[in-house]
Amino acid sequence: MARGTGGSAAALLFAAALTCGFGPALAQPQRALPLAVEKNPPGDIPDSQVFVIFRSDQGYSIKAPEGWARRDRSGGVSFSDKYNALDLEVGARAVAPTVASVRAQEVAALEHGAGAVHVLSVARRALPAGPAIVVVYQVNSAPNAVTGKAIRLENERLYIWKDGRLATLTLSAPAGADNADQWRLMAGSFAWRP
């Protein structure tokens, strides 16, 4: 008859340990692991995609894909379609970023964030709007609200500075999608306006 009480006693002891404050010591948070890149990734922006100029009252313009959902917010705007996204944030910054300052600050913050961030490169790039610092990285997406599925995303984040203002442009797509031409078009279309 005493045979079945050993498991119950152990379960009670474990439950008591959790309620007495030992639970956090037993349950260590796990860092997210990178998701596998899809073999046939969704998210190629079609070569026939039409782009429209978005003009912000915050003093900039950019070409965005027609038909993508737009979300305005204080300090920026985003356009998205499934896993593809263009996000633009504008704020004040006293000095222009450098490759070294972006590595030390923005990249460090990215790498300590969620989503198993893996930074591939940090480099300077010339754009029509002026010089930019570009961070190329991969990160896990947030789970889809309907399916719960998350995928690996490839991102280009561009820091574009002029006269005390910094634009942070982030382009995202499923890792492996071929959007290089479209991303070049969008980044190259960014312009400061008086």
Q: Give the residue, 14 or 180, on which the prediction is more confident.
A: 180
pLDDT of residue 144: 86
Does residue 21 register a pLDDT over 50?
no
How would residue 37 be classed by pLDDT, with cut points 50, 70 and 90? low
- Lookup: tokens for 50: 């039409």
pLDDT of residue 91: 97
SS (H, E, C) the chain: CHHHHHHHHHHHHHHHHHHHHHHHHHCCCCCCCCCCCCCCCCCCCCCCCCEEEEEECCCEEEEEECCCEEEEECCEEEEEECCEEEEEEEEECCCCCCHHHHHHHHHHHHHCCCCCCEEEEEEEEEECCEEEEEEEEEEECCCCCCCCCCCEEEEEEEEEEECCEEEEEEEEEECCCCCHHHHHHHHHHCEECC
Closest listed residue to residue 133, CA positions, set 93, 109, 110, 101: 101
Is residue 165 within 8 Å of 190, Cβ to Cβ? no
Average pLDDT over residues 153-166: 98
pLDDT of residue 194: 85
CATH number of the domain at 51-192, please? 3.40.1000.10
What's the whole-number average pLDDT of the chain? Answer: 86
Q: Which residues, other chains included, contact 123 with Cβ-Cβ below 8 Å and sequence gap of 6+?
A: 99, 133, 134
Per-residue pLDDT of 42-73, as tens digits, reads: 778 988 999 999 999 999 999 999 999 999 99
pLDDT of residue 81: 94
Does residue 41 register a pLDDT over 80?
no
Write the CA distances from 132 to 12, 91, 99, integer angstroms.
Answer: 59, 15, 9
Residue 116 backbone phi and psi in degrees, to 5: 55, 55
How would residue 20 be classed by pLDDT, with cut points 50, 70 and 90? very low
Write the CA distances from 136 to 75, 94, 107, integer angstroms.
Answer: 23, 24, 10
Does residue 7 register a pLDDT over 70?
no
What amino acid occupies position 137? Y
pLDDT of residue 125: 98
Question: Measured in whole angstroms, how far is the alpha carbon of residue 79 from the centre of its chain?
Answer: 13
pLDDT of residue 170: 99
Domain spans, the chain: 1-30, 51-192
pTM exceeds 0.85 for this model = no
Pairing of strands 84-92, 130-140: unpaired
